[in-house]
Amino acid sequence: MMTLPMGVAQREVFGRVVAALADDDPRIVVVDGDVASSTKADIVEKAHPDRFLEMGIAEQNMLGVAAGLATTGLIPFVSTFVAFAVVRPLDQVRVLIAQTGANVKITPSYAGLFTGSTGMSHIIVDDLAIMRDMPGMVVIAPADDVEAEGALRWAAQYEGPVYVRLVRDATPRVFEPGRPFEIGTVAVLREGSDVSLLSTGTQTPRVLQAADLLAEQGVDARVVHVPTLKPLDVDGIVDAASTGRVITIEEHSVLGGLGGAVAEVLSEHRPTRLDRLGFQDVYPESGTNDDLLDLYGLTPAKVAAQVAERLRR
């Protein structure tokens, strides 16, 4: 199995990149929900204390404040966990940010399973589905630290609401440092003709490694990374179906996220046999990162085994 270099944790990228953006642009501000030491927004507080706005443990208000700040010409980045940026203040995101097209960057970390053994109240596996369903919202799940930096820099210069799903702990690096981020396009990371494996977020490096394991079994898998759930690269997904078999793998529910989006595209544009791996309509539990990835079938070995098994069906 190929070894990928470890990247910097995406939350660390968040703190550094937003602080750097704030160096150059006085419109950049951060609103924090009392978790800056976790999300690394404390880097911004240190560099620009006047543009770090502590909102306390009150996320509904925080998202509303972000919308108000944006109307005065500022560019707020939201610092909290995915659970408390998407689900807790969902109606504020809907009414004040998505429906108004507010220039707010919803950039929480603690996405997916890596939440420091917190359990199902903190592990959100339907955020992509929820955010993708909001008209006007851009939804990005970066594969690694390089793409996270690109996505955050892209979000800062884009006028409108953006959701960037960031991960707490260091994950393997897929892209060459400095690679520019391109919104709304898939990235083919490995060519293959037997099956196309589509993934998003930091599941992508694990799928790349799974493809290596599959190659050892004689399965030639194409790996296609889908960083942008909205806008969706319809052509890229249709092209991926040219192998005749598509499997989506995501650290997220199979309902409404990547698997859901790919099902919609293929059934409309190119009906293709599709399998969706990920959370099968269940709530997660607490545990170490490795144990949880294994439990929900998201390690390279588990992905490879499930793909091989699905291809035999």
Partner 1 sequence: MAPRLPASFDDAEIAALEETARQVRISVIEAINVAKAGHLGGPLSAADILTALYFKVLRIRPDEPTWPDRDRFVLSKGHSAIGLYATMAHRGYLPVDELLTFDAVHSRLQGHPEMTRLPGIDMSTGSLGMGISAAMGMALGARLQRKDFLAFAMLGDGECQEGEVWEAAMAAARHRLDNLVVIVDENHLQQFGWLVDRDGPTRLVKPPHTPGQLADKWRAFGWRVLDMDGHDMRDILATLRQAIEQTDSRPTAIIAQTVKGKGVSYMEDDYTWHSKPLSPEDYATALADLGAGTEAVRQ
Residue 31 φ/ψ, nearest 5 degrees: -110, 135
Quote the Cα angle for 7-217-112, to 5°: 35
CB of 47 to partner 1, least distance (A): 15
| The binder of partner 1 chosen from 63, 85, 237, 292 (CB under 8 A) | 63
Q: Is 87 in the site for partner 1 (CB under 8 A)?
A: no
Q: CB-based burial of residue 255 (10 Å sphere; 0-12 exposed, 13-18 middle, 19+ buried)?
A: middle
The Cα 194–Cα 50 span in angstroms is: 55
Active-site entry in 12, 45, 59, 149: 59
| The binder of partner 1 chosen from 24, 72, 216, 271 (CB under 8 A) | 72
CB of 251 to partner 1, least distance (A): 31
Q: How many other CB atoms sit within 10 Å of the CB of residue 163? A: 30
| The binder of partner 1 chosen from 6, 34, 47, 61 (CB under 8 A) | 61
Write out the E strands in 19-88. 28-32, 52-54, 75-79
The Cα 91–Cα 78 span in angstroms is: 16
- Cα–Cα distances in Å, from 102 out to 47, 63, 234? 26, 11, 26
Q: Is 24 in the site for partner 1 (CB under 8 A)?
A: no
CB of 231 to partner 1, least distance (A): 20
| Six token digits for residue 291 | 């144990």
User: Of the ranges 86-94, 123-131, 172-180, 220-228, which one interacts with partner 1 (CB under 8 A)?
Assistant: 86-94
The answer to whether residue 159 is catalytic is no
Q: Is 298 in the site for partner 1 (CB under 8 A)?
A: no
| Six token digits for residue 50 | 């006047």
Coil vs helix vs strand at 120: coil
Q: Is 23 in the site for partner 1 (CB under 8 A)?
A: no
Binding track, positions 91-110, relative to partner 1; x by CB under 8 A: xx-xxx--xxx---------
The Cα 231–Cα 213 span in angstroms is: 31
User: Which one, 53 or 255, has the nearer CB to partner 1?
Assistant: 53
Q: Is 263 in the site for partner 1 (CB under 8 A)?
A: no
- The site for partner 1, by CB under 8 A, has a size of 32
Q: Is 245 in the site for partner 1 (CB under 8 A)?
A: no
Asked if the bond preceding 231 is cis, omega within 30° of 0, the reply is: yes
Q: Is 140 in the site for partner 1 (CB under 8 A)?
A: no
The residues binding partner 1 (CB under 8 A) are 29, 50-51, 53-56, 58, 60-74, 76, 91-92, 94-96, 99-101
| Catalytic residue set | 59
